[in-house]
Amino acid sequence: MGVATTTIVSVGFIAVALTFGRVLARPVFRSIETIRAPGTLAVLALAFALILSSLAASAGSAMILGAFAAGMILNNAAERGEIERATTTIGHFLVPIFFASVGAAVKLSAFTDSTTIAVAALLIAVGVVGKYLSAYAPWWFRGNKPLIGVAMIPRGEVGLIFAQMGLTTRAISPSLFSALALMVLVTTFLAPPVLARVGAKGAWRGRVRDDVGIDDLVAGDWQHRTPRSVPDPGSSD
C-alpha cells in the first residue's frame, strides 16, 4: 500500500470512526453506567479501544489510530472523568510492559557501532530543531512559542510504537531501531529541564499550579496579567 493510499485510508477511518462512534458510544455507555458494577466502565472503554484498533488494522491503517479515535470519542462522553481514572489505572499496569518489550528489542551492541551512533545523533539533531521550529509555523499565534517548541521535542511512546512495527515487519534493521530508541530516550530526558527553564521565564512562583495557570503561560498571558494569589498548600486557611 502506497503512502497516498495509506494516508487516505487513515484519514477516512478516523472520520468514519468519529462520526459513527460518537452516535453508538453514548447510548451504550449510558446503559452500562446504570449497572454500577465496579470496573464496568473501565472494561468497556478498554474493549472499545481494542475493537477500534482491530478495525483500523483490518482497514489497512495503524492500530494506534484506532486507539486514538477511541480516545477522542470517549473524551466527549458524559462519563469521561470516571473512564479516565479507570483507564489510567489500567495504563499503570500495561505501560511498563510495553516499554519493557521495546527495551528487550534494543541491541545494546549496536551502541558500540559508529554508524548507529551517527544516525542517532542526526535523528536527535533533526528532531530537536524540527520540533522546536514547528512552534513558529503558525505565524498568527502570539503565545509562548519557545515554551511550545521545547514541549514538542520529546518523542515518546508513539515513535516507539511505529519503530517497533517497522522492526517487526523488517522494514527497518535492528541497528536503525536501536538508533531510533536512543533518539527517543535522549529527547525524553532532554526536554523536562529545558522546559522548566523556559517556562520559568516570566512565570510567577506558584502561578502554574492549575490548568488556568498553564493555559496562561502557553498563551503568553503572563506578560499582561498580574499574578493571582495562590494559597499555600501548607496553610490551614
How many distinct structural domains can be found in the chain?
Answer: 2
Amino acid at 189: F
The stretch 194-209 carries a mean pLDDT of 63
Q: Are residues 100 and 141 in the same domain?
A: no
Q: Which amino acid is at 98?
A: F
In this prediction, residues 213-237 reach a mean pLDDT of 51
Q: What is the pLDDT of residue 49?
A: 87
Cell 499565534 -> residue = 141
In this prediction, residue 204 carries a pLDDT of 46
- Confidence at 117, pLDDT banded by 50, 70, 90: very high
Q: Quick one: 31 and 112 in the same domain? A: no
Q: Identify the helix (H) or strand (E) that includes residue 194.
A: helix 174-200
Assess whether 98 and 124 both reside in one domain. Answer: no
27-77, pLDDT tens digit by residue?
A: 777 776 666 666 777 788 888 889 988 888 888 777 888 888 888 888 777
Residues 73 and 130 occupy one common structural domain: no
pLDDT tens-digit readout, 169-190:
788 888 888 888 888 888 888 8
Sign of CA dihedral 8, 12, 13, 15: positive
Which range marks the domain in which residue 12 is found?
1-105
> What angle, rounded to 10 degrees, do the helices at 40-58 and 3-33 form?
160
Verify that 32 and 128 share a domain, yes or no. no
Output the average pLDDT for the chain: 77
Higher-confidence position of 167 and 122 = 122
- Alpha-carbon distance 215 to 32, whole Å? 34
Q: 46 and 1 share a domain?
A: yes
H or E segment and range at residue 105: helix 80-105
Whether residue 153 lies inside any domain: the answer is: yes
Q: Please write down the long-range contacts of 66-70, taking CB distance under 8 Å and 24 or more positions apart.
A: 66/13, 66/17, 68/14, 69/13, 69/14, 69/17, 69/18, 69/21, 70/17, 70/21, 70/45
Residue 192: per-residue pLDDT: 84
Is the pLDDT score of 122 beyond 90? yes
| CB 133, CB 177: distance < 8 Å | no
* Residue that is last in its domain, among 52, 72, 105: 105
Interatomic CA distance for residues 153 and 127, integer angstroms: 7
pTM here is 0.64
Indicate if 121 and 54 belong to the same structural domain. no
Question: Looking at residue 197, what is its pLDDT?
Answer: 82
Domain boundary, last residue among 62, 86, 105: 105
**DSSP letter (8 states) at residue 63:** H
Indicate whether 111 and 155 sit together in one domain: yes
228 pLDDT more than 70: no
pLDDT at 102 over 70: yes
